[in-house]
Chains A and B, each alone.
Chain A
Amino acid sequence: MSPSPIALAIDASGIARRFGVTWVLRGIDLRVAGGEVVGLLGANGTGKSTFLRIVGTLLRPHAGTVRVCGHDVVKDADSVRELVAYMAHAPGLYDNLTARENLRFAAAMLDRRDKEVDAVLERVGLIDVGNETVRAFSSGMQRRLAIGRLLLARPRLLLLDEPYSNLDQSGIELMNAVISDHADAGGAAVVVVHEIAPAAEVLDRTVTITEGRIAGQADDDHERTLIPVAASDR
């Protein structure tokens, strides 16, 4: 991945979103700079994934604005989709296709060349099983293939929702290497994590969301002391 450096990858202001009558996000303000890796922490159901899905154009906010590299996620969603790559809980693969076919499909949708596929399979450690259907893959192998799809995308902004789940130690190292390379090249990343440990070496900052609001932030030494957010930032 080799995105050029960007000044402000995410500029979110007052983001609110409800499902039915329940407000999941109640006014999130967050700025993420180019080259920065931000970890989103919080208990289940506090709105971390919802925030990520709004930034990725999968959901629309009911209030507030989000700009990705200067593009509004609602008014200019097509441009935003050119810039982001999103890894959800589910790997989003096709069971009846082989690993190679899954990546070939992704390459076609992303306007990448077919010959990049084998290099990506090599990088994620699946080159030997490239012709096996994904149905036969373990959860960890499916996660590796999803990482391969991220590599094909070459985005400016990585949105990763619990990317370490089902990964073994080498998988975690692979994920961290992908994030580090991306950040070193000037790209930004937001990573939803339940535990800091697997992501500790790549996170520049952590942000804790509680009940739909940012409860605090911590810098890159990953001390668990939360830095209170000023009222004006909420």
Chain B
Amino acid sequence: MSLQRDWRRARAIAWKDLTAERRSKAGFNAVTSLAITILVLFGFALGPDTRAVRDAAPGVIWLAALFAGVLAFNRSYQSELDGGALEQLVLYPGSRKAIYAGKLLANFVFVALMLAVVIVAGIILFQVVIPSEWPSLLAIILFGTIGLVTLGTFYAAMSSRSRAREVLLPLLLFPMLVPVLLAAMEATKSLLGGNMMGDAGAWARLLIVFDVVFLAATFLAFEAVIEV
């Protein structure tokens, strides 16, 4: 019963965040523009060497996702802070884990949509050949996004009370994201290089372990983080 109530609340929070975002569109446009700008700049920096550009594609795409994600995570709590809504949000009865779950869900949808645009742009700009194991590639992107969003949502909550949150969030988040992004990037690189049976599987398993550990740890710690 309590889980059902928490799930209803989490869905309500996700619906609220996504509805507000859909209506303003400012966040999605800004974040996606930043990500595509990063791709274009790297494309120019790497020059006309097709092989070099193709090899760099996984790293550049995940890097673009990282920088754009930080903007998205900051924005997800900004709407709560603007009109004093965060106080009301934490005052609603029930477990505060539902708040985290709702924010996580909304950020996941937001970042996944942004990544979809970035990946399509990356495929075109970096002349990436889509491998025959594309479902595995999709799975890696999914697990990478879960890891990115889990830590991003958690640390955005932690830094949301600080006046210097725009500076604080990257400082807290980037070191924690290194293992997730490294595993996601290496798995993507192996798959795009056609090395499905080798490194890709190992990196994918590592990525899943990181996701599970970070999800469990952040859910357990969130109540303390959001305490007013």
Contact = CB atoms under 8 A, between A and B. Distances in A.
Contacts of A78: 93-95
Contacts of B19: 96-97, 101
Interface in B1-38: 5, 8-9, 11-13, 15-16, 19-21, 23-24
B120 interface: no
Given A78-B93, A81-B93, A88-B87, A111 B5 contact: yes
B85 A94 contact: yes
Interface residues of A, number: 29
Contacts of B15: 105
Contacts of A82: 93
Contacts of B85: 92-94
B93 A56 contact: no
Interface in B82-116: 82-85, 87-95
A96 B79 contact: yes
A93 to B, nearest CB: 5
A213 B101 CA distance: 41
B129 interface: no
Interface string A81-100: 11011101111111111000
B197 interface: no
Contact of B20 (A58, A90, A94): A94
A94 B16 contact: yes
Contacts of A91: 83-84
A177 B224 CA distance: 38
> Chain B CB within 10 Å — which of A57, A92, A101 has the most?
A92
Interface in B122-178: none
Contact of A92 (B16, B20, B87, B94): B87
Contacts of A84: 91
B103 to A, nearest CB: 13
Nearest to A78: B93
Given A58-B90, A81-B91, A133-B23, A93 B16 contact: no
Contact of B91 (A58, A89, A90): A58
Nearest to A90: B84
B41 interface: no
A85 B95 CA distance: 17
Interface of B: 5, 8-9, 11-13, 15-16, 19-21, 23-24, 79, 82-85, 87-95, 228
25 contacts: A56-B91, A58-B91, A59-B228, A78-B93, A78-B94, A86-B88, A90-B83, A90-B84, A91-B83, A92-B83, A92-B85, A92-B87, A93-B85, A95-B20, A96-B20, A97-B23, A101-B19, A105-B12, A105-B15, A108-B12, A109-B9, A109-B92, A111-B5, A111-B8, A133-B23
Interface of A: 53, 56-59, 78, 81-82, 84-86, 88-97, 101, 105, 108-111, 133, 149
CB-based closest 3 A-B pairs: A90-B84, A108-B12, A92-B88
